[in-house]
Amino acid sequence: QKEVEQNSGPLSVPEGAIASLNCTYSDRGSQSFFWYRQYSGKSPELIMSIYSNGDKEDGRFTAQLNKASQYVSLLIRDSQPSDSATYLCAVNRAGNNRLAFGKGNQVVVIP
Amino acid sequence: DTAVSQTPKYLVTQMGNDKSIKCEQNLGHDTMYWYKQDSKKFLKIMFSYNNKELIINETVPNRFSPKSPDKAHLNLHINSLELGDSAVYFCASSQDLLAGRYEQYFGPGTRLTVT
């Protein structure tokens, strides 16, 4: 079982719609959860971090964490063409700075 | 100001050569990392240093040798380059674990092509 799984294929959403991305993780000891955005040919950029169960909102982004079910999700509201990128889920254990990354989900926002 | 910088941005070299990549961060972070992103875009940790001490050393060929002269710098030296070493190498940094914040910030990457 992979440490972090992002199974959905490329996600195409119309401009203005909500993009929803899911991520599951295998280590129950995981304490820190992150979403990175990576444009083609660029480096990963941290867009959200979440540490406790529930929702965390930042602008058009909302991260949702459910430790009991071992999943973390990212919602992008009012999707814009500039949101077209690959989104990487990353997880680590408390006191351990080793991040495990998922393989990423590509999002394409169609004008 | 660039937070995490890497040089060079592109590196094209032949098999068997030895090359180095350099990384510097001006964020005041204590921990630095090297990641490899292969052609399938999977991002994998290679090494991590905390205050010049090696703390993560994943299963990486010993042709790869990291060095951290101080906590703001982390270099990666690769001996006897092979075709399979072609990838993008990212440097990253984060605050000390004791601070309880583990967000990692990435440099722009070095695209290594071995011919």
Please enumerate residues of B whose Cβ is less than 8 A from a Cβ of A: 31, 33, 40-45, 48, 50, 55-56, 90, 94, 97, 102-109
Q: Which residue of A has its CA nearest to B35?
A: A99
Contacts of B8 (CB under 8 A, 6+ apart): B21, B110
Residue type, B111: R
Give A-chain residues touching B2 at CB under 8 angstroms.
none
Given a cut of 70, the residues of chain A with pLDDT beneath it are: 1, 94-96
pLDDT, tens digit (0-9, with 9 covering 90-100), for B38-94: 988 889 999 999 888 888 888 889 999 999 999 999 999 999 999 999 999 999 999
- pLDDT score of B98 more than 60: no
Cα(B24)–Cα(A3) distance, integer angstroms? 29
| Among B42, B45, B108, beta carbon nearest to A99 | B45
Read off the pLDDT band of B27 (50, 70, 90). very high
